[in-house]
Structure 1
Amino acid sequence: MGVERGVADGRQAVAVWAALRARPLRFPFTAGPWRCWGHLLGGALLGPLVAAVLAVLLVVGLGLSVVGVGLLVLLGVALAGVPVGALERRRLRLVEPVPVPGPHRPLPGVGRRARVRTRLRERATWRELGYTALFALVLSAVDLAFTALLVFCGTLVVSPVVVWALAPETVMLIPGRVVAGPVGALPATAVGLAGLLLCAYAGALLTTARVRLVRALLGPRPEGLGRQVLELTRSRARLVDAFEAERRRIERDLHDGAQQQLVALSMTLGLAAYELRGRAGDDPAVALVDRARGEARLALEQLRDLVRGIHPQVLTDHGLAAAVAEVALRHPIPVDVDIDLPDRLPGPVETTAYFTVTEALTNAAKHSGATAITVLGRIADGRLVLQVTDDGRGGADPAAGAGLQGLADRIAILRGRLLVTSPIGGPTRLRVEVPCSG
C-alpha cells in the first residue's frame, strides 16, 4: 500500500535527448526544436531581468546595511533563488514532460521568522541561489547568443523577401557585399536553412544540458531523500519497539496484578462457601458463592489466555518453533508444524512471525472450513520464510478485515512482505518473508 515516487535527477532520461537519439534525421521537422528554441528564448529574456534585479538589491542592501535596513534587503537576495528556482522548474515543463519536484521541506505554520529560518537552513536554498547567479551571468548569455544566431539564420532564410521589399534600395546581408535582387539572395537562404538545421540540433543539446543542470541544482537530492527515508525507518522501528515494550508492560501488569487478584478472590470465595456450609448447611447463599467462585475461575482462565496471547512466555524462553508448536496443540484443527531454524531470530522478527502465524490459524479456524493446516518455516538468503497452508474452501479476501492488514503493516516496517493466495475452492496459502538482519 505504499506509494512510489520517482525522483527527477540527472540519471533520468531527458525527453528531448531521447527524441533526438530515437529519430535524429526526423527530429528537426518535429515540434521538439520549436520547444527548445522557446525555452532558450525565454532564458534570454528572463536572464538579464534577473541580473538587473539582483544587482539593484545588492547595491541597495550594501548601501543601507549601515542603518540596518540593508540587512533585510540582503536577506531577500539570499532567498531570491527560491522564486527563481520555482520559475525555472515551471519553465522546464515546456521541454520536459516529467516535472522536477521542489527540493524544499514543507514550511512550518508558526510565523514568518520560523519560515525564513527554515529556508535559510536548507542546502537547497543555497543551491538555488547559486543557480540564480549562474543563470544571470552565464546561462542567459548563452541563451542570448543562441537567440541571436537563430534570428540571424531566420533573417537569411527570408532574405529574398527582404531584398524584394526594399528594392530598388541596395541590401548588404554581409558587410561589404551587396545583394543584387531577390535571386542573388537565394544562396543566403540556403545558408540560413543550413543554420536553422544546425540550430535544431544545437538547441536540443543546450536544452538537454539545461534540464540536467536544473535537476541537479533545483531538484531534490537522492541522498537527502535517502536520509529522510532512513530516519523514517528508524522512527517506525522505534515505534515498534515502544509498542512491544507496552505489550510486555500490559502482560506483566495483568499477570502480577489482575491475575493474582482473581486468584485471591477465588480463594476467598472458597473459604466463604466452606464457612457457610458449616454454619447454614444448604443455605441458598452457598450455591451463589459457589457460582461466583466458578465465574472467577472462568475469568482467571480467560485472563491467562489473554496474557498468553499478548506475548507468550514460551516465545521468550524457547523461540518461534516452540511457541508455534504450543499454539498448534491447542488449535481445533490438526496443525502440522515444520519450522527448522538454525538460531534464534531477532526479537521483532520473532514476535511478528509468531503473531502472523497465530492470526492465520485463527482465520483458518473461523472461516476456511479446513481439515488440516501446515506451517513451514525456513531461513533462505538471510530471510525468514514462513508459509501457512490450509485445505479449506478458499476465497479469502485479505482486505476484508483488519487482522492481516495490520500484520502486513508490521511486516512492512521490518522491510518484509506478506503474500496471500486464496483461489475459490482452496487452498489458502499465506507466505511471509522478513529479513533477519537490520
Structure 2
Amino acid sequence: MDDTWQSLSRGRYLRSAGPWRAAGYLAGGALTGIPALLALVLLTGTGLLLVGLPLLALAGIPLGALERRRLRLIDPDPAPTPHRTPAEPGLAAWARLRYREQATWRELGYAVLHGFLLWWVDLAALGILLGVPLLLLTTPLQLALAGDGEVKVLKTWLITDYPATFLCAAAGALLLPVLLYPLGALAGARAALTRALLAPRERELRGRLAEVTRSRARLVAAFEAERRRIERDLHDGAQQRLVALTMTLGLARLDAPPGPLADQLATAHDEAGKVLAELRELIHGIHPQVLTDYGLPGALADIAERSALPVDAHIDPALPRLPESVEAAAYFGVCEALANAGKHSGAARAAVTARHTGAALLIGVRDDGRGGADPAAGSGLTGLADRIAVLDGTLTITSPPGGPTVLSLEIPCPVSP
C-alpha cells in the first residue's frame, strides 16, 4: 500500500483508497483529541495538582501509542515506539526510565498540541473540504425532506425548485474530486507532523543503537559471569577430584610391590598428573584466579613473568579495580598480543604499559620484532578487536615491515576518584 503522498504524486489518488483513508484519519483526530483535551483539563484541574502533575507528564504515552497506530491509515511505514525497555522489572523502574526519556516529553507536547488545536483543525478541514461538496450533492434530497418546500443551501442560498437543486448537485459532483486532493495533502502533512513528534526516524535509530550497545554490554557481563561459574565448577569440582585421584594413585604406587602392577600404577599416576596440569591451564585460560585476587596490575605482572618472551612491564600501581568485563578483555588482549609476538614476530623483547586516565583504560604492547602483523591473517587479533568493540573500545595496531609492532587498547570505563 502506497502512502498518501505517493498516491498523490503518481496520479492514481482518486482510484485508490487514499481519499477514504485521509477522511478517516482526519475524522479519527476528534476521537482521540476530545479525550486528550478532557484528560489534560482534568489532570491540571484544581485539587488534583499533587497527583495530577506527575501523571500529566505521562499522559502523552497512551495517546502517542494510539496515534502511531493511526498513522497506518496514511503511511504504511511502521512507526515503532521510541521508548526503551527498562533494564529492571517493576512499575518504579518503568516510571524512572519514562521520566528521563525525551520521547515522553515529546508525547506530552503532542498531547497538548493535539488536544487544544490539531483535532479542531482536522474537523474544520474535513467539514470544508468534504462536507461542502457532500451538502451540495444531497441538495435534491434535502428539498424532498423539507416540509416547507424550500432549502437553504450551505446556509446561504434559498432554493425552492428541483432544477436548481440538480444544478447544486452537479456542482458538488464536480467539486468533490477537486477538493479530495487538498484533503489528502492535509492528511499527509498531518501524519508527517505526528511521525516527526512521536516516531522520529533519526532519533529512533540513535535510541535503538544505544539500546543495542547496552544489550551487548549486558551480554558481555553475562558471558564473563558464566566463565567465572565454569571456572569455579572446574576448580572446586573436577580439579579436586583429579587431585584426590593423583594422590590415591601415588599412594598405591608406593604400596605396590615391584612388577607389572607397579609399572601400570606409575603410568596412571603420571597421566593423572598431566591431566591435572592441563586442567589447571584450562581453568587459568577461562578466568585466571590472579585477575580475581589481585586485579589487573597483578594479572599483567603475572603475564609478563610467565611469558616466553622477556617483557618489561610498566603498570601504573594506582590502577583501580575495573568492571570484570573490562579487566578480562584487557588481560586476554595482552595475552594474545604477547603470544603473537612470541610466535610470529621474531622479537627479542616486549614491553607492556597500562594506565587509567579516569575515563578510559589504556593498554600498550610493543615488541621489537620484524613487524608486518596482519589482523586478517588469522592471528587472533580480529577476535580480540571484536571483543574490545563490544565494550565500545578500540584496538589499534601499528606494524610496519621491519617493526616495531605496537598494539594499543582503549576501553572506556569511567572511575570516580
When the two structures are superposed, what TM-score results if normalisation uses the length of structure 1? 0.56
The match for 2:44 among 58, 61, 72 is: 58
1:183 maps to which residue? 163
Q: Is contact 1:40–1:143 with CA below 8 Å preserved after alignment?
A: yes
**Distance change in 2, residues 1:97/1:287 (3 Å):** same
Identity rate, percent: 30
1:406 maps to which residue? none
**Distance change in 2, residues 1:177/1:216 (3 Å):** closer
The match for 1:48 among 16, 34, 42 is: 34
**Distance change in 2, residues 1:322/1:128 (3 Å):** same
1:233 maps to which residue? 216
Structure 1 residues 264-296: Cα deviation after superposition (integer angstroms, max 9, x where no partner): 9988887x48xx7xxxxxx4x654333222002
> Does the alignment pair 1:119 with 2:98?
yes
> In the aligned structure 1, how far is the partner of 2:372 from the partner of 2:263?
51
- Tell me the number of residue pairs that the alignment of Structure 1 and Structure 2 aligns: 315
Structure 1 residues 304-340: Cα deviation after superposition (integer angstroms, max 9, x where no partner): 55566675988844429949xxxxxxxxxxxxxxxx9
> In the aligned structure 2, how far is the partner of 1:214 from the partner of 1:249?
54
1:389 maps to which residue? none
Q: Secondary structure at the match of 2:14?
A: helix
2:9 maps to which residue? 21
**Distance change in 2, residues 1:300/1:85 (3 Å):** same
> In the aligned structure 1, how far is the partner of 2:341 from the partner of 2:235?
20
| Structure 2: stretches of 5+ with no match in the other structure | 287-306, 309-334, 345-369, 393-408, 412-417
Once the two structures are superposed, the pairs formed by residues 199-210 of structure 1 within 5 Å of their partners are: 199-210=179-190
2:268 maps to which residue? 295
Q: Give the CA deviation at 1:58.
A: 1.6
2:80 maps to which residue? 101
Q: Give the CA deviation at 1:45.
A: 4.2
**Distance change in 2, residues 1:117/1:236 (3 Å):** closer
> Does the alignment pair 1:144 with 2:123?
yes
1:35 maps to which residue? 21
**Distance change in 2, residues 1:203/1:411 (3 Å):** farther
**Distance change in 2, residues 1:344/1:297 (3 Å):** farther
Aligned AA (1:343): A
> In the aligned structure 2, how far is the partner of 1:259 from the partner of 1:351?
34
**Distance change in 2, residues 1:162/1:130 (3 Å):** same
1:161 maps to which residue? 141
Once the two structures are superposed, the pairs formed by residues 74-89 of structure 1 within 5 Å of their partners are: 74-89=53-68
The match for 2:151 among 145, 156, 171 is: 171
> In the aligned structure 2, how far is the partner of 1:341 from the partner of 1:180?
101
Moved more, 75-84 or 139-148: 75-84
Alignment RMSD, CA only? 4.8
Once the two structures are superposed, the pairs formed by residues 300-379 of structure 1 within 5 Å of their partners are: 300-304=273-277, 311=285, 316=336, 317-319=338-340, 322=343, 342-343=372-373, 345=375, 350=380
Structure 1 residues 177-229: Cα deviation after superposition (integer angstroms, max 9, x where no partner): 43352222344334323432234222322232233333332237221111111
When the two structures are superposed, what TM-score results if normalisation uses the length of structure 2? 0.59
Q: Is contact 1:159–1:189 with CA below 8 Å preserved after alignment?
A: yes
